[in-house]
Structure 1
Amino acid sequence: MKKNFVAINYIDCTEAYRPRFEELFGSRAKAIDTMPGFINMHVLRPAKEGDSYLIVSYWETENAFKDWTKSEAFIKGHQRGFEDLAKAKAEGRPAPMSSSFRTYEVIAE
């Protein structure tokens, strides 16, 4: 059985930042789409208030995912969000969003 690698980014946004976050993904650079080993991605809006957004990306291998996180394309793809975080910090405000990655291996389909 072919095993694939899945990375899930759990994103927590302030209520005020949610529209901006969704705008960023709606107009994303699609830099990830051309990365070697990338298969697909889903951006999931929480159905329940207070839950995290999920960014679920599917990769051929863990190394392909790691290469993405170290790439210029990664920086380009996240540039606007990084700018929002830097602006909040410069203004002495709390970060409007935070994220944490968890990774998985597909064992059944």
Structure 2
Amino acid sequence: MITVMNRIPVKAEYAEAFEARFRDRARLVDGMPGFVRNEVLRPTQPGQPYIVLTYWESREAFEAWTASDAFREGHARSGSLPREAFAGRNELEVHEVLPGPDAG
């Protein structure tokens, strides 16, 4: 399993609109093969980015999502915020999830 973490620096005055985008998202990813779950983490300190964290069964499943029509449609439907809403560029990180102690 992998996680895909997108660190998104959002200016404070756009935080509510950013969160609304995820509450009202198209949810097209939810039905994609290999998708496990999605979490949006709200910063607790000024200057910290939001983190959009998705879990996938494999990197191939994630890459299939990013190449899909559903990906393009979901991002187009979510309504984009103006460029000035962001305090910098987002950063994408991919990590493998280590097996837990009960894994066979």
Q: Say yes or no: does 1:40 pair with 2:29.
A: no
Q: Distance in 2 between matches of 1:62 and 1:96?
A: 30
Q: Aligned residue pairs: how many?
A: 98
Quick one: distance in 1 between partners of 2:48 and 2:28? 27
For the pair 1:102 / 2:90, whether they are aligned, the reply is no
| C-alpha distance in 2 between matches for 1:25 and 1:80 | 11
- What is the CA distance between 1:82 and its match in structure 2? 6.2
Unaligned runs of 5+ in 1: 89-93
Q: Aligned partners of 1:44 and 1:83: how far apart in 2?
A: 19
- Give the TM-score normalised by the residue count of structure 1: 0.80
In 2, distance between residues paired with 1:81 and 1:48?
A: 26
| SS state at 1:13 partner | coil
Which secondary structure state, in structure 2, belongs to the residue aligned with residue 107 of structure 1? coil
Q: Corresponding residue for 2:67?
A: 70
- The alignment's TM-score, normalised by the length of structure 2, stands at 0.83
Q: Give yes or no for contact 2:5–2:52 (8 Å, CA) kept in 1.
A: yes
Query: Quick check: 1:27 aligned with 2:24?
Result: yes
Q: Equivalent pairs: percent with the same residue? A: 35
The 2-side partners of 1:76 and 1:41 are apart by 18
| Consecutive unaligned residues in structure 2, runs of 5 or more | none
Q: Which moved more, 1:37-46 or 1:71-80?
A: 71-80
Deviations along 1:12-51, whole A, 9 cap, x unmatched? 1122211110110011110110111001111110111110
Mapped to 2, the partners of 1:61 and 1:21 lie a distance apart of 28
| Match of residue 91 from structure 1 | none
Q: What's the offset of the Cα at 1:81?
A: 5.5
